Structure 1
Amino acid sequence: MSAETAQEGETPREFAVRLGIPGLVDVHTHFMPQNVLDKVWAYFDAVGPPTGTEWPITYREEEDRRVALLREFGVLAFTSMLYPHKAGMAEWLNSWAADFAARTPDCLHTATLYPEPGATGYVRRAVESGARVFKVHLQVGDFDPNEEALDDSWGLLADARVPVVIHCGSGPAPGKFTGPGPVGRLLARHPRLRLVVAHMGMPEYTDFLDLAERYDGVLLDTTMAFTDFSERLAPFPAAELPRLRELQGRILLGSDFPNIPYPYVHQLHALERLGLGDDWLRRVLYENGAALFPDLSQGPDVPQGPDLSQGIHR
């Protein structure tokens, strides 16, 4: 059977079964308070002018249905990526995300931050209460990650080894603090940070691959990269494909569900057609995520996170 025939009508779960993995670990999915999500969806509904193309949301469903869909897809663990665009939002979002994770055991407890007074306190509280991943969006938040107000928070996250999924590339539209420069300076100051570069750093792919080679704690997620939609806007350079093989232990599946303009399985097929082999796919779709997040199904009875009350050490 040809690969094309195998893909016809294939579900994400069937894709995982064909590879011989238990399921998928998706580090980049969005769940957030409905009023915030409504504003995010309104942005995508109007996103044509900045990108020059329409961005229909494929999975515009109620929250319970979106969770059910991921389970139907065979996603064993996912995240509630959320992010503030102004001061005073982050701690409230963290409270919502903690509650969502408590009632959704297959969602990795997610948190966020913003450069503001008190950030270190709520970041510490989130980690001590079991947050397993943070989300930072430099484009939406419109801030430099090197702001002094965040310095202790970065040190705390580096000490706790909590990964941070960071939207720092300049796609779909550049911001004042996107691109490899600000993140490169951050890593020079906090080289032990576990940063997961969202969207493979689109469109500055090469620069972010360079950072991943320079810093052991830098990973990349596949969110929207290599898909037909993104290849039209910001094609991945073919010359860099060998580096994806070399970094196969540092690449994680991300999807941007539900805010994607195509079916979920298309992301998986886009990765397969890179031609890097089934072993590479198994690492990216399941094994790397399982290694980064041991004991994937974490409900309210899971032990609390590390005690950081003794201070911050960098």
Structure 2
Amino acid sequence: MPGAGRAGREGAAVATTPGPRGDADVPGYLRELGIPGLADVHVHFLPEPMMRKVWAYFDRAEENYGLPWPIRYRTDETDRLRRLRALGLRTIPALSYAHKPGMARWLNDWSADFARRVPDGLHCATFYPEPGVTADVRAAVDRGARLFKVHVQVGGFTPDDPRLHDAWSLLAAAGVPVVIHAGSAPLAGEHTGSAPVRRLLADHPLLTLVIAHLGMPEYDEFADLVEAYPNVHLDTTMAGTDFSNRFAPLPDRYVARLAGLGHRVALGSDFPNIPYPYAHQIAALARLGLGDDWMRDVLWHTGARLLRLPG
């Protein structure tokens, strides 16, 4: 049943179908919306030893972040793939990111193999400011990489590092989207925030960037970049959830702004490294009350366009 929603941009109320209560409800919810599935641009698969190290880091979340972060989907790769398919993902990204020299090349090799052995796996890649980075990015694009990921805080580099200039130019020309974690939550870094990304876009205005976590907590600053540059998008990862509302809630005025950006906002989840059920991300977006058309754009149309999915 449609529920009451917020006022739209014109002031009229918009109907929003209540979000799913649990993971088992997600396929039915998608059928109610009339969309063929989920186009999630922010999913992580890694070599198992590296994934275990990531989970061990989150096990120390109270030390690192000041709050617990229990991993909800701490299972093997086969089970995680099964769960994502059951939820309705039409392709499964395997985002990784390098945090020191020498990592990106072997991660890209692993990601290419993931895409070969997983029929619905999406070929992803990463890069790092080091000698040979342009050749590495070119090799990944030539092999068919359709989505890149970089993490400014974990990597400890500025996105406008001169060593990355040619790599960014190559990606802009190829139109391959890059998910970039540049916001200052949950941890700020020397190069987080919108200013380095703004400098990057001044040099590469046609880059297809996807700002992870809506740029949390610098929401409005990153939304300004979406409005200023034609290929900049946002992903919803963790935004509006009960968990992130504890440290980076969405201001009401920003939620109203999101109403007009649905075609530039894509679903992101951070699966499997989330401390709540996958369905809660979708329910958190639905309870913003921005309308079913907005939800259709966010859950399917925007991501499907970025990932070049059929339908």
TM-score range, shorter chain: over 0.9
RMSD (CA atoms) = 1.6
Aligned match for 2:89, one of 75, 84, 91: 75
List aligned pairs for 1:247-266, cutoff 5 A. Answer: 247-266=261-280
Displacement after TM superposition at 1:52 (Å): 1.9
List aligned pairs for 1:283-294, cutoff 5 A. Answer: 283-294=297-308
Question: CA-to-partner distance for each residue in 1:131-164, whole Å, 9 max, x for gaps?
Answer: 0010000011001111121110000000000000
Q: CA 1:157–1:6 in structure 2 vs 1: closer, same or farther (change >3 Å)?
A: closer
User: Would you say how many aligned residue pairs link Structure 1 and Structure 2?
Assistant: 297
| Structure 2: distance between partners of 1:6 and 1:112 | 33
Question: SS where residue 176 of structure 2 aligns?
Answer: coil
Question: CA-to-partner distance for each residue in 1:223-259, whole Å, 9 max, x for gaps?
Answer: 0001000011100111112221111110000000000
1:65 is matched with: 79
Q: What stretches of structure 1 move > 3 A for 4+ residues in a row? A: 1-10
Displacement after TM superposition at 1:106 (Å): 1.8
For 2:136, the aligned partner's letter is Y
Q: Name which of structure 1's ranges 42-51 and 2-11 shifts more when overlaid on structure 2.
A: 2-11
Displacement after TM superposition at 1:295 (Å): 3.6
Identical residues among aligned pairs (%):
56
1:113 is matched with: 127
Displacement after TM superposition at 1:5 (Å): 8.0
Aligned match for 1:184, one of 176, 179, 198: 198
The yes-or-no answer on 1:243 pairing with 2:257 is yes
2:64 is matched with: 50
Q: Name which of structure 1's ranges 55-64 and 139-148 shifts more when overlaid on structure 2.
A: 139-148
List aligned pairs for 1:85-234, cutoff 5 A. Answer: 85-234=99-248
The yes-or-no answer on 1:25 pairing with 2:39 is yes
| Structure 2: distance between partners of 1:230 and 1:289 | 22
Question: CA-to-partner distance for each residue in 1:34-64, whole Å, 9 max, x for gaps?
Answer: 1111111111110113322100000000011
Q: CA 1:7–1:126 in structure 2 vs 1: closer, same or farther (change >3 Å)?
A: closer
Question: SS where residue 24 of structure 1 aligns?
Answer: coil
Whether contact under 8 Å (2:107, 2:126) holds in the other structure is: yes
Question: CA-to-partner distance for each residue in 1:92-150, whole Å, 9 max, x for gaps?
Answer: 00000000011113222100000000001110000011000100000110011111211
Whether contact under 8 Å (1:28, 1:78) holds in the other structure is: no
| Structure 1: distance between partners of 2:181 and 2:89 | 22
> Normalising by the residue count of structure 1, what TM-score does the alignment of the two structures yield?
0.91
The yes-or-no answer on 1:13 pairing with 2:27 is yes
2:284 is matched with: 270
> Normalising by the residue count of structure 2, what TM-score does the alignment of the two structures yield?
0.92
**Structure 1: which 5+ residue stretches go unaligned?**
298-314
| Structure 2: distance between partners of 1:295 and 1:19 | 18
Question: SS where residue 115 of structure 1 aligns?
Answer: coil
Whether contact under 8 Å (2:240, 2:284) holds in the other structure is: yes
Question: CA-to-partner distance for each residue in 1:198-218, whole Å, 9 max, x for gaps?
Answer: 000001101000111111111
| Structure 2: distance between partners of 1:103 and 1:161 | 25
| Structure 2: distance between partners of 1:174 and 1:27 | 23
Whether contact under 8 Å (2:19, 2:286) holds in the other structure is: no
| Structure 1: distance between partners of 2:21 and 2:269 | 20
**Structure 2: which 5+ residue stretches go unaligned?**
4-16
